[in-house]
Each structure stands twice: as C-alpha cells, then as structure tokens.
Amino acid sequence: MPAETSLHQLNRLQRSFRPVCQRASASRRQHERQDQHLAVDRVMPRVRSFFVACHSSFSRGFIAVALLLAHADQGMSEWPQWRGPLGTGVAPNSNPPTEWDSENNHRWKTKIDGEGHSTPIVSDDLIFVTTAIPIGPALAPRASGRPGAHDNRMVTSMYEFQAWAVDLNTGAVRWKKTLTKAIPLEGGHNTASLASASPVTDGERFFAYFGSHGLYCLNREGELLWKKDLGKMHTKHGHGEGASPALHGNTIVVNWDHEGDSFLAAFNTSNGLQRWRVQRNEVTSWSTPVITTVDGEPQVIVCGTDKIRGYRLLNGQVIWECGGMSANIVATPVVSDGILYAGSSYEKRILMAIRLAEAQGDITDTEHVLWSRFRGTPYVPSPLIYKDSLYFLTHYQNVLTRINAKTGTDSPGAFRLGPLTNIYASPVAANGNLYITDLDGQTLVMTATEIPRALSLNPIGEPVSASLAVVGSVILIRGAQHLHCIGER
C-alpha cells in the first residue's frame, strides 16, 4: 500500500475529479470494440508449420485449429510491441494489480546495465529489452553541432548496444547480446537515451533497433540472424532518435525521418532483404509507423510535419495523405473501428480523427476528417483508445483529457492528475482501469468509468520514461536502473 502522504494526495486528487466529471452524461454506453486481426497475424508464424504437417488428417486438423485459437488468445495476452497487441495501449484479457509498493505485489526487479527508454516486450514468458552501455575511457566531450541545438548531452564515450532476454517468471537474465560498439553521432536531448526505440517480436524472432546503429534480428536464443545498416540519422537540434519499427506478418517497417533525405523502408523479416524504400518529404519525427487493415489490405500509416500518409504495405505506394499536423511529431497515432486518431503539440496544437475507409489522394479538409480539436493535445505520450473513449495528455503534463472517440466531444474533458509530475510514458489500460506513469516513477491507477475514480498512487523508487507493458496478471515497468515485475505473489 502506498505511504500515508501518497494517500492524502490521492484523496485530494479524487476530489479534484468530481467537478469536471459530473458534467458527463450518466447514460453513456460502456462497452469495448477491439480489432484483434493484427494479433492473430503476429502469432501465425508459430502455427503455420503445424498446419502444414497436420492437414492430411481430420483429427490432426482439428488439433491444429484448436492450437491456432489458443495461440491467438495467447497473442492477445502478450506484449509484442510498445503499444501492446492491438497497438492502442490496451491489454486485452489481462487483470494486473491496481496497487503496489516495494513490499507488496512486487514480484522481482532485475538490474539492467546502461540506459534505455525502450519499452520491454513479451512473448511466451520471455521479456526482450534493449540498452546502451558506455564503455572504455572517457572521450573529450563533443557536441552534436546541429543547428538550434539546446539541452543536449555531450558525446563522452563509446557505447555497447545490447539486447537482453529476461525470464518473465523469475527475472533471471537468460542472455545478453552485444550487437555493435560505436561512438554515437549525437548525444541526444538530456531527457533522451541511446536506446529509445522499442523492440518488436513475431514470437519467433526478436527485432532490436538502434537507428543509426542498426536494425538487428535475433532468434529466441539470442543468435543474430541478420542485421541492416540504414545510414546515419541527423535529428532536429541533435535531440536524438526514438521511432520504433512496426511489424506485420513477414514485413518490418522503419520510419527514417530526419534532417537529411527521409524515407520509409520495409524489410523481409526472414532474411532482412529490402522489400521497398520510398522517399518522404519530411523533417525529423519520432513517431512510430502504425500498420492496420483498410479496405481489405494492410496499410502503413506514418505521421509527419508535412502530412500524415497511408502507404500500401505491399509496395510502399502512397494511398492517401492529410495535412494539418505541427512540427516535431512525437506521439504515435492509434486506430480503432477504422478511424485514425493522430495528434501533435509544438508550435500549434492539433488532434484529428480520420476515417480510413476509401481514403484516396489528398483528404485534407474533406469529409474523411471527422473532427478536430485544438487544445490540450499530446506531444510526447501517445493517445490511448479504450471503451469508446480517447484519452490523451496535454503536451507531456499531468493533465488528462477524455473525449468521446466518435464525436470528439468532452466526456468529461480535461482534469489534472494531482500529484503526478511530467509524463513521457504513454498511458495503458487493462481490466477497466487506466495506468499513467510519470517521470518520477509514480503510477496513478484510475477507473475508466464515467466519473473516473482514483484507486492508488504507486511509486517504483526510480525515474521512468518507458511505457508500461501489461501481460496477463503482471505489469512490467522499465525504470532508469531496473526492470520491475508487478504482480501478486
């Protein structure tokens, strides 16, 4: 249970909810519609070979179907990418704790060498995480030298860029793999890390991405299968790299928006061969591509300062585009029921809902843009779509807004999250509750009800920039020094 001072803060927070929340309608429906086809796609490689072996027998075929369904459900309780199995921040079929501290519901913690803000991912009781570890003698401090550079770290050492596998049940480190050693091109912003891009997995392979320091494919035993060198990224103000790769079937996609020649590239997950590469008229962004099925085929959707664009996954062809975003795109959009929700906040604020079906060409200011908002929009944390509501944080501050996802209207609107400080981690949801973690490592748990109710405020004892991962009955929190597993003992 949190300390008494935290409970006092929690009580004050609960009182602050009521004046805003009581404006909500008492008759709003409470149900959840979630698209699960991408999760099934991710577990298909694990059962495809089983189908081939079993198709000749009815009984074996029946077993294969049962196995597929079991694996599909298991895929929904895994965390294969940084926004979870649905790409929305929601953990289906999960029932994690709603309160913890250093003594209660804290199963284990494991020291992770170096530093990284990447979110851990989970597949079949194996956690994958990436990190960057300074090595060797100190170097003479070097600035990035980028135009407009400010609040940046100096480059002062060489680094090992590593991938780790950790046992979900015990916290034991199964293996560590050094993928490359290099002197960073840029030190990055003083709140950033050199391992900010989160890994992804298809269940058989694990993909670690370090931007300028490479894309790597490993098997579950830590053996390197292939690697790709994509070049050197020159980020705006030298603030560093952060967009994660996106995975669909046997294709992995990388967004390479920077101050040079920007591009979007897709690779075969089996051998690393490039499927396609298309140029982008964009400057630096830190937004991760989203892959979703539209009009019967998968699209890759990427936010940029110039346009949001939907690409055909098959060949990289642009299908549609929509203008209106700000500069410095960081937040990754979410998709639900065929609607894309994309927002940004820098020199201007914008959040819009885009109907994807039959979108073609330039859809800016057309009927495909269902609604737009211009206040309280997200900058660093990405939005969360849960139970027909869209949740987003103002810039990276402790102000949360909930709106009706279909209409864009307040439901009930914005409310301050009391004792929380600034927030970089994207919010997650599970079993009717929201989990919001600030930079100090405090997680506020609150209900996703019509009138939100604060349940607990839970410190982890160290700073947190990475988003949480929720798997079944546990929560994984990647702190500045440790990986924590929160769950009933």
Name all domains of the chain by residue range, CATH numbers in brackets: 252-285+287-329+331-379 (2.40.128.630)
For residues 471 and 84, the answer to whether their CB atoms sit within 8 Å is no
pLDDT in tens for each of the 489 residues of the chain? 443 334 455 556 665 554 444 443 333 333 333 344 444 444 444 444 433 344 444 344 443 444 434 444 444 569 999 999 999 999 999 999 999 998 899 999 999 999 999 999 999 999 999 999 999 999 999 999 999 999 999 999 999 999 999 999 999 999 999 999 999 999 999 999 999 999 999 999 999 999 999 999 999 999 999 999 999 999 999 999 999 999 999 999 999 999 999 999 999 999 999 999 999 999 999 999 999 999 999 999 999 999 999 999 999 999 999 999 999 999 999 999 999 999 999 999 999 999 999 999 999 999 999 999 999 999 999 999 999 999 999 999 999 999 999 999 999 999 999 899 999 999 999 999 999 999 999 999 999 998 899 999 999 999 999 999 999 999 999 999 999 999 997
What integer pLDDT is reported at residue 273 of this predicted model? 98
Tens digit of each residue's pLDDT (9 = 90 or more) over 157-183: 999 999 999 999 999 999 999 999 999
What integer pLDDT is reported at residue 29 of this predicted model? 38
What integer pLDDT is reported at residue 102 of this predicted model? 82
Bridge partner residues of 164 (DSSP): 129, 176
**Is pTM, for the whole model, over 0.75?**
yes
Classify burial at 416, counting beta carbons within 10 Å of its beta carbon; exposed 0-12, middle 13-18, buried 19 or more: middle
For residues 263 and 283, the answer to whether their CB atoms sit within 8 Å is no
Write the single-letter amino acid at 305: T
Bridge partner residues of 263 (DSSP): 256, 279
Element (DSSP H or E) covering residue 46: helix 37-54
Q: Return the axis-axis angle of helices 58-76 and 37-54, rounded to nearest 10°.
A: 150
